[in-house]
Every structure is written in C-alpha cells, then in structure tokens.
Structure 1
Amino acid sequence: MQVAPEILSALFDISPSGIAIADEQGRYLQVNEAYCRLFGYSQNELIGQTFGLILLDSDKELEPEILALALNQDQSAPSEWQVKHRDGRVLFVHSAFKTFHAPDGSARILTILSDVTTLVATLRNMQDHELLLRKANENLEEIVSNRTMMLEHANKELARLATQDPLTGLYNRRAFETEAAKAIYTADRHQRPCSVLFLDIDHFKSINDQFGHAIGDEVLQKTAEKIITLLRCSDLVARWGGEEFVLLLPDTPLEQALVVGEKILDAIRSLQLFNTQIQITISGGLVERQLNTPLEHTLQQADMLLYQAKQSGRNRLASAPALPQHVDSLLVAYPNACVSQ
C-alpha cells in the first residue's frame, strides 16, 4: 500500500530533523521549517542557493567533490559534519542522503540533517573531563608514590635513629639489648659459648676538660671505628653510654675473647688523633656467659671486672669465668680474676 502524498508532505513539514531536496547542481529546491531553523535562514533565502551556503569557509572548495559523491553513490551511511550557521556559529550535524535519478538525467538529492551540536559538545566536555581526571589520577598516583617513598625513607631513618648512637654510628643501648637477646637465645639453643666485654676509655673526663668536647667526641668516634675493624660480622658492639662500650662475642669462649680484648687495647694505645698528642688507653672487663643466664647478670659481672681493671691501674683487661646466676656479682669480688696489662 502506497503512502498518500499528503502524508509524505506532512511528514516533510513536521519532521524535527532538517530536510532538504536539491537538484543535480546542488541547488535547494525545497527545505522544511526544521532545516531553516537549523541554519537561521528563511525558505525564500535558501531556495535556489547551493548547499555551499552552509559549508565552513575551509570546506567550500570541497563542494564539487561532495556533490559528485551524492550523485554517484545514490545514498550514504549516516555521518557527522561540521557546517556553518547564518551567524557564523559552527554546528555539528548528523547527516544522511539519498539520490533519486530520473530517466532524463536529472536528479533529486534528499538530505536529512539532525543537530548534534549540544551532544558533541557534551561528549567533548566529558572526554576533556575524563582526560583531566586521568591526569589528576596520574598526578595523584605520582604524589602517593612519592609520599610513600618519603614515608618509607622517614621510617627507615626513624628506625636507624632509634637503634643507632648518633655520634659513633654504633648500636645504642636499647638496640644492643634487643640484638644481644637474639644472640644468647641462639647460644642457649645450640649450647654455644659467648663472651661479654665492657670497655671504658681511661681518664676521658680529663680529655674533655683539657682539650674540649670536640676532641672528646673525636676520641669516641676513633675508638668506635678502631673497635669495629677488629670484630667479626657476627659480633655485636654498642656505645653503652658516655665513654663506655659493650661487646658481645658469639661462639667465643673466654680464651678466644681474651685475644680479641687484648687486640682492642693494643689498637687503642696506638690510636693517633689529628693535631693532638693525646695518649688514649682503655680498660676492659671480660666474662664468658654461662648458658641460660640472663644477659643482665652477665653484664653486671663484666662491669664488676671493668671496675677491677680500673682499680688495678687502668689500661688493662680483667677477666674471669662467669659466676653462677645465684651469686650476686655486685656483692662478690673476683678473687680469681686475671688482670692483664
């Protein structure tokens, strides 16, 4: 059943899309109201004009090519075009056409345009917004990554400061106690000996009083450096406080620990400081820890031996076998202590 001409005419007039019929020269023969509203022209102004009227200035030279395309293809798939409103605004239109050829060689080109300017603008805004969000997300990820690295560095630095003596770079007292607890746990588990050595720089207060605290700090630093060079990687050394140092020597019975202690004393005696004639000596108290004895008990015994070395004239090492745990080393002297010079 054919559609009545008056229905087709009404459809042409009321369509919300712009509809135009042009001849083979591209001249408008008929346009509907929607087409006129789309471009801001009246029907009288459009009739007889070519579609080049709505092309962008940069596209006007393409008018013959577009016309040839319409005449040769018969119809097109929907596509988007940029065209020009009467007031110069650029419009985005969704376009489709179909060409009807007559036996006499004439042609009628039916074009339907829908204004998608707002839609395109919205899509572009969304794309721009998405791009901004993507860049913001990348920047945020970079910021988070940088902050994470800074936080990790800060945490490492805090951990270092919490365990390291700032002047000598050795373990501080708390860190030594933590690491020593691990070492003696291993020693007890495997029934292995270990020895503890307390060291104290002789006459350190006099060095500070006579040469100043800067020289005193240098004495501490050089002493720490020298001690480290004489130890194994498994040995522990810390600045216990002031001019005192403490060492824990795993897998080391008293006889071997004595050799280490004497090497340290000899090395400190030969220690030279820049621009000074200071004679540095150090005293030590050395004890082999009994198995399953608390670290604190062994440290007290080593400290008592250090006191005996000081009382015996300094610049020497006092050593003795460890006392049983039930004997209070603070109340008992070491009658069998060996004091070496």
Structure 2
Amino acid sequence: MPVRKTYPIKITLFLLTSTLIFLASTFALASNNNVPNNSDSSIPYCVDPDWMPYEAIDDGKHIGISSDYLSIIKQHTNLTFTLVTTSTWQQTIKYLKTGQCHLVLMLNKSPKREKYLTFSDVYYRSPNVLVSLREQPFIQDLSNLNGRSLGVVKNYRIAEYIETYYPEIQKTYVESEGEGVKLVAEKKLDAFVGSMLSLNARTQQYGYGNLKVAGWAGPEDELRFGVIKGKEAILADINYAITQISEKQRIDIFKKWNNVRIIKEFDHKLLFQLLAIVLVITLLFILRQRQLNRFNRLLSEKNKELESLTQVLEKTNHELEYISFHDPLTDLYNRSYFSQHIKDKIHDINRSKSPTCLMLVDIDHFKKVNDELGHNVGDEVLTQLSQVFNEVIRQSDIAARWGGEEFVFLLPETSVDSAKKLATRLLNAVREHHFNKVGQVTVSIGIAEYDHKSDFHNWFERADKALYRAKDAGRDQLSC
C-alpha cells in the first residue's frame, strides 16, 4: 500500500520544516530585542524657538544645547528627524497636542504634560533662579517674595510648580524669558524666574547691567525628550542613545554654550541685615518650641547652605559685572564702558589741564581677511591683535574695542609727541607679529590731543579724521 506509507512521511517533513521556520523566526525576534530599533521614517520634532542657550530657531535652523545632543542621538540610532518650525513655545505645545510634532527635545516632566507626552530618561540638569534689579533686597527663594510681583513663562514647568505650591504669589505670565527679563529691567516686574543659563544669556544679550541673581527658585530643571502618545516606541532608541553619551561630550557641549558670565558686586550690608533677621526669628522659634539643641543643629545646617549660596551668587555677580564692561572676543573694554569712562575723565582733564591724547587704530584691509579666509580667522586676528596691544600700551592707558576692526585708546598724561612714539612702537609690533593663517597684518592710526574746550564727540571726530588721513596716505602709518 504505497500511498499509506508515503503520506505520513510527507506530513512529518512538513511539520519538521514548519517547526524549524518558527524557531528561526523566534530566534531572530529575540535577537532584535537586544539592540535598538532602527527606523528609517523621519520624525517631525519641535523645539522652544527662543530659549538660548538650550535651544532656539535661527533662520529656520535648530541651534543650541539640544541640537548638539540630537546629533549624538542620531549617531547611535538610525532615527531621522525633521524640524517643524514654530514661533513661540505656546505654538510648540499646540503642535504636540495636535500631532503636528511627534517629539520635543528639551523639557521637564510634569503631571499636565504627562497627559499627552511620554518622557525619556533625564539627560541634562540645570538650576532655576530669581532675577531682580540690583537695588532690590536679596530674595533667597520663592517663599520670600513677600508680595512682590513675579514673572514666569506660560506653560513652563516652573509655572506649573508655582501654581501648585505657591498659589499666593502674584504672577504675571509672559510669552518668553526675553520678555520677562525686559519687564524686570524696566521696573514693571519685581522679579522673574527661569533657568540660570538662559537668564544669563538674556542679561548679556540685552545689556541689562542693572540686574542680578537674587536667589534660587524651585526644583532644578531635569530636561528630557518628550514623545506624544502613540509614538512611544522610539523612546527605547532614544534612551539607549542617552546611555552612550560620554562625560567628555557632556562637558564639551556645556563649555560650548556656557559662554555667558554674570556680574554685580554682592551687597554685604544686605547680607548682614538678612542674617540679623534670621537670628531674631531663630531665637523666637527656640523659645516657642523649647527644642534648643535640635534647632541649633538645624540652624548650623541652614547657615552652611546660606554661606555656600552667598559665595556662588557673589562669584556670579562679579562675573556679570566683568562681562558688561568687556568685549567677549578681545577681552578689552567695550564701547559702552569707554564712552562712560571718557565722560568722567574729561572732567578730570579740564581740572588738571594735563595733556591727554585719543588714539584710534583700524586694521588695514580687514574685510578682505573675512571675505577670503572666513570670520573665524578674522576673529583670531582680532584676538591676537588685542594681545599685541596689551604688550605695547602702558598700565595707565585705557584700550577698548570700538566696533568691528576699530579700537580706541585713551592716553592720559601724554603729549602728541609721546603719543606718536607709542603709536610708532605699536605699528612696529603689529608688523613684526605673525598672525595665524594670515601672516602679516598692518594697522592705521589717528591721534588727537584734547584741547580743553570741546566735548568727547568733537575730540573723537578729530582723531577719526586723522585716522582717515593715515589711510588715504597709504595705510600702515600714523597721522595727527
């Protein structure tokens, strides 16, 4: 009976083949579960368009700290991303809720946001601070606002935090941190709360030298990727990539974007007043609670925290004062400082009748350097040239970057003849210096002595005309 003998054999071979295919498929699936899922579909993402140095949109391009971290994520996955531009943070939130964006790169987790977003692991942390006018008292934290008005960006996590834990605070919601800082500088708000790095950047960007860091505010930012509901599958890839970020990469990104420094000299009298108030409250608390030993330990811990906070704020305020007076590229004084200083100096010159000269220095053919070699090389020339200036000028001279490739020098107690000698030394020093990627660079110099009757504008104009005479005569020379 040949049919009965062959039919079971065919069934057996079919079942064996099917089993092997099933086992192979199961093994492949298990293997795939051990590595990140690599999807080739492009993911539409949004950012806060005005939150530097963390992130922003500049000419349609994504820049900032989150941009650098996104580049690392791309290196460790096959995910691709497409930027969806927005004009405000409020519009970014709207796009996430409507599904026009599937991913947002840098935000805190909060109960409200968890309703429409799923979050990655934390990959960046930063403190929140309070900013106020310099003459305002030290605030320390949110609980010490005492009726002062406070600005906060609408839909930021810190806004949700204040609404929950400090509902009594008089809040004003703004569209961006730039708007909030401006309102404080214009005395329309008593204080503003936001991330320390971004507020530092705003202070430098708008030149608000009348502001200071007045205290810490709320929990620190724990920044994550946020993915809309239904798209959580990509979080496995993102979390895997986050674990691959090295400490060196984190430090390099921080150094790249943390180029803003904070100023203002710390008010020690205010600190002593604050300590006196704390001491009075402490004594009352001890008498009332009759727990002297326990409270003394608590007071010691609080004083250590306050001392540490004071040191940080004092250092931060000094740095902000320095950056408001200096050009960040050359480290010379900036135009704002020089203009203010010269007004005070003219009064002293008129009183002492001492000879004083103004010297303008302009780099010859500097536009050609930028056009042919690029602005990075041009910046390097400016940096090296400022070093040459510092080697030649005297300790009593004031050097400032006036703008672009033009520099101005105040030479007190200096006649025209002495100024010409100094200018000649400066011309020779610049000629002899080898500039990286450029070689030789020359400058033209204009000199004008103060006549004890005109204002700074006229004095500067005479020096500027002398500078143009030097350029018209062939450059690489001085004129009076």
- The TM-score, its normalising length taken from structure 1, stands at 0.54
Structure 1 match to 2:167: none
Q: Deviations over 1:135-154 (max 9, x none)?
A: 22112111221222212111
- Please tell me whether residue 283 in structure 1 is matched to residue 409 in structure 2: no
The superposition leaves residues 293-321 of structure 1 with CA deviations (integer Å, 9 ceiling, x where unpaired) of 212211111111112222222111111xx
1:323 aligned partner: none
Q: Take 1:264 and 1:281, find their aligned partners in 2: how far apart are those partners?
A: 10
Is residue 310 of structure 1 aligned with residue 467 of structure 2? Answer: no
SS of aligned partner of 2:333: coil
* Most deviating of 204-213 and 251-260: 204-213
> CA contact under 8 A between 1:284 and 1:318: conserved in structure 2?
yes
Letter in 2 for 1:287: A
What amino acid is aligned across from residue 243 of structure 1 in structure 2?
A: E
**Structure 1 residue 178: Cα displacement:** 2.2
Q: Is the 8 A contact 1:285 1:306 kept in 2?
A: yes
Does the Cα contact within 8 Å between 1:197 and 1:284 map onto a contact in 2?
yes
Output the amino acid matched with 1:169. Answer: D
- CA contact 1:196–1:246 (8 Å) conserved in 2: yes
Residue of structure 1 in register with 2:462 after alignment: 301
| Residues 193, 291 of structure 1: 8 Å contact kept | no
**Deviation (angstroms), 1:127:** 9.5
Alignment correspondent of 2:434: 272
Q: Report what 1:174 is aligned to.
A: 336
| Partner SS, residue 279 of structure 1 | coil
Is the Cα contact below 8 Å between 2:435 and 2:441 reproduced in 1?
Answer: no
SS of equivalent residue, structure 1 residue 267? helix
Q: Is the 8 A contact 1:198 1:302 kept in 2?
A: yes
* Mapped pair 1:211 → 2:366: no
Q: Distance in 2 between matches of 1:277 and 1:191?
A: 43
Moved more, 174-183 or 230-239: 174-183
Residue 294 of structure 2 aligns to which amino acid in structure 1? L
Q: Deviations over 1:81-129 (max 9, x none)?
A: xxxxxxxxxxxxxxxxxxxxxxxxxxxxxxxxxxxxxxxxxxxxx9994
What residue is the counterpart of 1:59 in the other structure? none
| Residues 192 and 251, structure 1, Cα contact 8 Å, conserved in 2 | yes
Alignment deviations for residues 311-340 of structure 1 (CA, whole Å, 9 cap, x no partner) = 222111111xxxxxxxxxxxxxxxxxxxxx
Q: Aligned in 2, Cα 1:146/1:292: closer, same or farther, shift over 3 Å?
A: farther
Pairing 1:19-34 to 2, within 5 Å after superposition = none
- In the aligned structure 1, how far is the partner of 2:345 from the partner of 2:315? 28
CA contact (8 A) 2:357 2:416 kept: yes
Q: Indicate the residue corresponding to 2:201 in structure 1.
A: none
3-state secondary structure, aligned to 1:245:
strand
Distance 1:142 1:179 in 2: 40
- Report the Cα offset of residue 183 of structure 1: 2.7
Distance 1:216 1:251, change over 3 A: same
Q: Per-residue CA shift, 1:272-308, capped at 9, x if unaligned?
A: 123x352200011111111142122111111111122
Deviation at 1:189, TM superposition (A): 1.0
In structure 1, which of residues 146, 150, 154 is the aligned counterpart of residue 308 of structure 2? 146
Q: Distance in 2 between matches of 1:246 and 1:222?
A: 16
Residue 104 of structure 1 is matched in structure 2 by none
- Does the 8 Å CA contact 1:195/1:249 hold for their aligned counterparts? yes
8 Å contact from structure 2 (residues 360, 408) kept in 1: yes
Aligned pair partner of 1:199 in 348, 358, 361: 361
In the alignment, the residues of structure 1 paired with residue 378 and residue 474 of structure 2 have an alpha-carbon distance, to the nearest angstrom, of 21
Q: Which letter does structure 2 place at the counterpart of 1:299?
A: F
Q: For 1:294 and 1:138, how far apart are their aligned partners in 2?
A: 57
How far is 1:163 from its partner? Answer: 0.1
Counterpart Cα distance in 2 of 1:132 and 1:270: 70
1:250 aligns to 2:412 (yes or no):
yes
- Percent of matched pairs sharing the same residue: 35
Equivalent pair of 2:364/2:476 in contact (CA under 8 Å): yes
| Structure 1 residues not aligned, in runs of 5+ | 1-125, 320-341
- Equivalent residue pairs, number: 193
1:199 deviates by 0.5
Letter in 2 for 1:251: E
Alpha-carbon distance in 2 for matches of 1:127, 1:199: 70
Structure 2 alignment gaps of length 5 or more: 1-287
Contact 1:180–1:236 at 8 Å: present in 2 too? Answer: no
TM-score, normalization by structure 2:
0.39
State the structure with more CA Rg. Answer: 1
